[in-house]
Amino acid sequence: MDDDDDKPDRQVESIRLELNEEVMDKDEQKNVWVAQRMLGKGAFGTVYHVYNKSTKQEAALKIERMTAGDNLLKIEREIMEAMQSEKTAIHIFDNGIYNNYRFIVMTLCGPDLQKIAELMNNKFSDETVIRVSIRTLLAIKTMHEFEYVHRDLKPCNFAVDYNPNALHIYLFDYGMARRYARHFNNKWYLRRPRESAQFRGTNRYCSLNMHKRKELGRVDDVWSWFFMMMEMHRELPWHNLMNVEAIEARKEEQLHKVVSTDPFYSSFLPIYAMLSGYEYADRPDYAGIFEILLRKLREINGKLSGPMEYDAARINEAVAKLGENGRPKVVSKMEDEMSHLNFLKTAFYKVVIPGGNQYVIPEMVDFFGNLEPKKAKEEKTDEHKKQHRQQHRAMVPVVNKMTHNPHNKKKQQQQSSGDGNTNRKSVTIGSKSKTNISRSKVAKRHH
């Protein structure tokens, strides 16, 4: 994506697949995916529950109509392909073109957090709030470490694992994502923030920076996560407001008061203070936030492992709608507490992309071009000039020696007398000429 990746939003036409319709790439027809049911549709495509006709593997298929403009699935595919090695990221199994539609086949997830909240009547235990907060923060960090910010974080863009015993929560829908970092010549560079940016995100969850049309960095995604975490515990102070300016004012005026006075929220005042001090280029302290959450979890005698309180509700709801076909067919073994703790500590303490204004590229430098700073190029040029001067000075004694050799002088005189047009101009050596050197010696003799 280039600097034009903030084009106005466009709505993607909803694509309807029939039950048992077979989808395959028009060129490589080795994988055939059979549509089972629609999982959801939105501004950026339609998602179906499918299975592989040969292997019976279950997956999710996202499809959009091909247009002459940018295709959002291409952007999503690039981001997901970059994160293929990550355990907590959605994986791609197939992609292609079918009947003038673009599609990608990816990890099948369970319901999103918005649906989970509806199932639970928006009532969660403190333990669930913290466990979900830890897993969603890890999903955000994972994306950030692969050079992108999401810019539209909200509950419906996070989904629990299809397998109830797998506690991963996946982040998806990268239609508004923007690349903020790049690794070039073994160095990290951060994209220079624009003076103003178009609105991206959702008013309820976006940061104050977005309200003010500032460039969004990693910290702004974490602010959206913070509001999500708050909302799982109780309604946000601005939940019933529709006016954008009123929402912004409420965030500015009441956020600190709510966080500091609520018995549960007050444990997270250090997170609030941390985020308030960050700027665009800063790297959030993901590990520090994790430790604050973990400390609160231990304080209430909560655990990282074990079934989530919404598991039974979501499975029962799926079975009620679809019969036994709605029940997950493969249920993995639940990992123990120590395994979860070790995994999370390793993931949160791993640092990939640094932060700070020193990593921001200078003005007029193309983020997608040669990122080597101009100053470095000038230093290289100066170094080459210095080496050239040193080599030149090293040659001077050799030339002087040749000049003072009597045999060479006699030979030069013979050449000079044989030349009809005597040339008295001399070859410059350093800052002196041969003529100047001779005159200097004559002057010394007279003294």
Query: How many whole angstroms separate alpha carbon 209 and alpha carbon 223?
Result: 10
Query: How many whole angstroms separate alpha carbon 329 and alpha carbon 207?
Result: 40
Query: How many whole angstroms separate alpha carbon 192 and alpha carbon 179?
Result: 11
Residue matched to tokens 């790049």: 182
CA distances (Å), origin 443, targets 399, 431, 437, 447:
22, 19, 10, 7
* 3-state class (DSSP) for residue 166: coil
59 forms beta bridges with 50
SS3 content of the chain, % helix, strand, coil (to 5): 45, 15, 40
Phi and psi, residue 300, nearest 5°: -100, 15
How many Cβ atoms from other residues are within 10 Å of residue 99's Cβ?
13
Closest CA to 80 of 93, 97, 71: 93
Residue matched to tokens 């700027």: 279
- What is the 8-class DSSP label of residue 224? H
Q: Is 62 annotated as a binding residue?
A: yes
Residue 2, both tokens: 């280039």
- What is the 8-class DSSP label of residue 168? -
228: Cβ contacts below 8 Å, ≥ 6 apart: 113, 133, 136, 153, 154, 155, 205
Q: List the binding residues.
A: 62
Q: List the binding residues for ATP.
A: 62
